[in-house]
Chain A
Amino acid sequence: MAAVVYFVLIPMTYACTAIFIFSLSWHIVRVVSGLRISLAGSVGPEKRPKFWGSLVESLLFLKIIKTHPVQWFLLILFHITFLFLIAGHIELIGHSECLQIVPHEIFLGAGFIGLVLLVNLSFFLFRRFHSPIREMSEPSDYYILILLILTVLSGSQMNLARSLYGYSTMSVADYRIFLSGLTTFHPVVPDVIQSGDAGHSILLIIHVLCANLVFALFPSSNLVHTILTVPLSRLQRH
């Protein structure tokens, strides 16, 4: 068991993060180098405003605000919450002054981030069970969503375990030891996790496992839209 825990928490995390960072940069390099070729070959009346127009349009989902208002709201909510989520994880690595401008307990969002994401992700998943999106979907669309749900579910349960049910054996301090160890390349697995003393340490292992899989599958899933949206909107020919 200890070996599995060690494997998931350390070598697998490194490997998957490496795949993720590599594929992210690979996509960015391709976008940057491909954009020039594509713009030179693009045909049709100019799109205006060029760059900022595309940026605003895609980040605010302006294209669907009128046609699908409910989904627009859920999508905006989801993507904003996701930003909070990233900020929250940064705080788990170490104390950060600039994120504490508005003082708050760790984890950011008082337990609601996970819930909002969960509602949203279930919505995305159930939407896919519905015709015609069910027939349109490909297997990768499902497994990435299920992995995300598992990740969010375990993450939010860890948070609630501490704040709501008062499990205090595994604390923010332990997470910081683990994560800052990873980021400084002196990986350690804190004893509470390794020994399984804290009742919810199994949640952490599920959380990290699923997140790792999401990272690894990122380049071959529909999540690549995160990088492609803005340049693609810029290229659209009207």
Chain B
Amino acid sequence: MSYKPVKMKKRNPDPGPGRSGDSPSLTGAEDVVARAIQGLGIMHATACMHCGFCADTCHIYLAEPKLENIPAQKFSEITRYIRRRHTLSGRLFSRFVKNGELTQDVLRKISDAVYGRCTACGRCTLQCPVGIDLREIIRIGRKMCAAVRQVPEGLQRTVDNQIQTGNQMAIPREEILSTLDWLAEDLKMEMKDPSIEIPIDQPGKDFLYLINPREIKFFPLSLLSAAGVFHAAGASWTLSSRWFDVTNYGFYAGDTPAATELTRRVIEEAVSLNVKEIILSECGHGYRSFRWEGPHWIGQEYPVSIRSVIELLDEFIRAGRIRVDPTMNPERTTLHDPCNLVRLGGIVDPQRRILRRTVGDFVEMTPNRENNFCCGGGGGMLSMSEFGDVRVASGKIKADQIRATGAKIVATPCHNCADQLIELSKKYKLGVEIQAVVELVYNALIR
């Protein structure tokens, strides 16, 4: 498939750091809505029965059962505006009521609801008997806020970092190269094989492996494990030192121009390195955005195929390219399903097959699979300190789920969830260790 170069779209003018709050024009937000309600979008916004069935599916409502935490309530300001502006009865009667006007105040309320009280996990969507895609309306709200720079500060800073430096943690290139060298040395020692290397920027390989910058900066063990497993499988792969970031904070923020730009960079890097496939490291929203949303953003099919490393590991194990021994992971292990990978990404069984082969005592938590609860750290929550208390409180459900399994290790194929789970383990005194799936596979390798 050929690839048409994509031009970077103009980003919204930057009125200064953080929340602008007083940019007088809201037309950006209005345009977002006008685009979003094409097709059946408007139906989602007008069909709500206010029946409240969605309430007790939401981990944030369950942790703190108050009115504004009910999923349908989080989008009510958005739908009120849509009804006022875009339905017949709304237009006829809007003259007489203020209800549903879009003002700075209303937009601030929307911003607090869609970023601060919702992780866009989509669990409520499963429940709504009328079939409303609640998460989709929440995303409309995020796009509205992003269009007028009402994104909470921590999240906006991360997006800006990612656009300006190429990775969300602003790690300089030399640092990446030295860290990879250092990791390769460690790996050689651990696997007792001096021929191992971590390939960087090598063209013509089978796949390009995208990683979370966190794997360079703070948690390198998952990258080390992945390199070890790829070596054991005899895979032909490479990293990129330029565009290597698997995350897409533009997606979280609802900032579509930024999200498009991030997708474009990665796809062009894959084309210029001439790889057949892109493999995404364990990342929920990275999978959701690159695998599903990306082609819509850049307006074309990808010239390369794209898979999660979970699918790749599953293939390695099933094809016998690596051999594993479950007794190497004897502790009881449970699995957390990241919303963006499982419910919204469609990868449900591969991680279970992998764990059954690599872990001695694997137990499921309930509910699980598509029906799993969000860990509380999704939707960019982890980057927004202003909502730290909501995040930790809403993780109680997850903590209880984990405790009930009696597991000592929680595996999760998402670095973002991992950070939240580590904190939950501390705050709720679970005493569990959080591991990426690839780390467990690496432990179980028969070398």
Question: Nearest A residue to B90 by beta-carbon distance?
Answer: A220
Number of A residues near B (Cβ < 8 Å) is 45
Task: Kindly identify which residue among A231, A232, A238 contacts B370, using a CB–CB cutoff of 8 Å.
Answer: A238
Q: Is B39 an interface residue (CB 8 A)?
A: yes
Q: Is A163 an interface residue (CB 8 A)?
A: no
Q: Is A34 an interface residue (CB 8 A)?
A: yes
B133 touching A236, Cβ below 8 Å = yes
B47 touching A133, Cβ below 8 Å = no
Distance A222 CA – B130 CA, assembled complex (angstroms): 11
B293 touching A37, Cβ below 8 Å = no
| Mask: chain B, 85-118; 1 = CB below 8 Å from A; 0 = not | 0011100000000000000000000000000000
A235 touching B344, Cβ below 8 Å = no
B345 touching A61, Cβ below 8 Å = no
Q: Is A225 an interface residue (CB 8 A)?
A: yes
B50 touching A232, Cβ below 8 Å = no
B39 touching A133, Cβ below 8 Å = no
Question: Nearest A residue to B83 by beta-carbon distance?
Answer: A220
A125-178 interface with B by 8 A CB criterion: 128, 131-133, 135-138, 141
Question: Nearest A residue to B66 by beta-carbon distance?
Answer: A132
Task: Kindly identify which residue among B46, B53, B296 contacts A41, using a CB–CB cutoff of 8 Å.
Answer: B296
A136 touching B53, Cβ below 8 Å = no
Task: Kindly identify which residue among A31, A64, A231, A238 contacts B346, using a CB–CB cutoff of 8 Å.
Answer: A238
Question: Nearest B residue to A44 by beta-carbon distance?
Answer: B292
Q: Is B73 an interface residue (CB 8 A)?
A: yes
Given contacts A34-B39, A34-B40, contact A236 B125 (CB under 8 A): yes
Distance A219 CA – B47 CA, assembled complex (angstroms): 10
B35 to chain A, nearest CB (A): 10
Task: Kindly identify which residue among A34, A36, A45, A135 contacts B43, using a CB–CB cutoff of 8 Å.
Answer: A34
Residues of B contacting A229 with CB < 8 Å? 47, 129-131
B67 touching A232, Cβ below 8 Å = no
| Mask: chain A, 15-53; 1 = CB below 8 Å from B; 0 = not | 000000000000000110011111001011100000000
With a 10 A CB-CB cut-off, give which of A30, A43, A58, A138 has the most chain B CB atoms: A43
Distance A36 CA – B56 CA, assembled complex (angstroms): 33
A64 touching B127, Cβ below 8 Å = yes
Given contacts A136-B70, A237-B344, A238-B370, contact A219 B296 (CB under 8 A): no
B134 to chain A, nearest CB (A): 10
B40 touching A235, Cβ below 8 Å = yes
Interface size bracket, B side = 35 or more
Distance A136 CA – B53 CA, assembled complex (angstroms): 12
Q: Is A63 an interface residue (CB 8 A)?
A: yes
A38 touching B126, Cβ below 8 Å = no
Question: Nearest A residue to B46 by beta-carbon distance?
Answer: A224
Distance A61 CA – B128 CA, assembled complex (angstroms): 9
B53 touching A232, Cβ below 8 Å = no
B133 touching A237, Cβ below 8 Å = yes
A69-104 interface with B by 8 A CB criterion: 71, 75
Q: Summarize A's interface: helix, strand, loop or mixed.
A: helix
B347 to chain A, nearest CB (A): 9
Question: Nearest A residue to B289 by beta-carbon distance?
Answer: A43
Residues of B contacting A131 with CB < 8 Å? 67
A222 touching B296, Cβ below 8 Å = no
Question: Nearest B residue to A223 by beta-carbon distance?
Answer: B49
Residues of A contacting B41 with CB < 8 Å? 34, 38
Q: Is B48 an interface residue (CB 8 A)?
A: yes
A225 touching B127, Cβ below 8 Å = no
A64 touching B43, Cβ below 8 Å = no
| Mask: chain B, 233-246; 1 = CB below 8 Å from A; 0 = not | 00000000000000
B53 touching A67, Cβ below 8 Å = yes
Q: Is B408 an interface residue (CB 8 A)?
A: no
Q: Is A110 an interface residue (CB 8 A)?
A: no
Residues of B contacting A67 with CB < 8 Å? 53, 56-57, 127
Task: Kindly identify which residue among B50, B89, B343 contacts A136, using a CB–CB cutoff of 8 Å.
Answer: B50
B55 touching A38, Cβ below 8 Å = no
Q: Is B51 an interface residue (CB 8 A)?
A: yes
Q: Is A228 an interface residue (CB 8 A)?
A: yes
Task: Kindly identify which residue among B73, B131, B343 contacts A232, using a CB–CB cutoff of 8 Å.
Answer: B131
B111-154 interface with A by 8 A CB criterion: 122, 125-133, 136
Question: Nearest A residue to B49 by beta-carbon distance?
Answer: A222
With a 10 A CB-CB cut-off, give which of A54, A71, A232 has the most chain B CB atoms: A232
| Mask: chain B, 310-343; 1 = CB below 8 Å from A; 0 = not | 0000000000000000000000000000000001
Q: Is B406 an interface residue (CB 8 A)?
A: no
A150 to chain B, nearest CB (A): 20
Task: Kindly identify which residue among B65, B87, B122 contacts A238, using a CB–CB cutoff of 8 Å.
Answer: B122
18 other A-B residue contacts (CB within 8 Å) besides A54-B131, A132-B52, A234-B131:
A30-B40, A34-B38, A38-B40, A43-B293, A44-B292, A63-B53, A64-B53, A67-B57, A71-B53, A128-B50, A132-B70, A136-B70, A220-B87, A225-B130, A235-B40, A236-B133, A237-B125, A238-B343
| Interchain Cβ contacts under 8 Å between A and B, 17 examples | A37-B39, A37-B40, A41-B39, A43-B296, A58-B129, A58-B131, A64-B127, A67-B127, A131-B67, A136-B72, A225-B49, A228-B47, A229-B47, A231-B131, A232-B43, A234-B131, A238-B343
Q: Residues of A at under 8 Å CB distance from B? A: 30-31, 34-38, 41, 43-45, 54, 58, 61, 63-64, 67-68, 71, 75, 128, 131-133, 135-138, 141, 219-220, 222, 224-225, 228-238
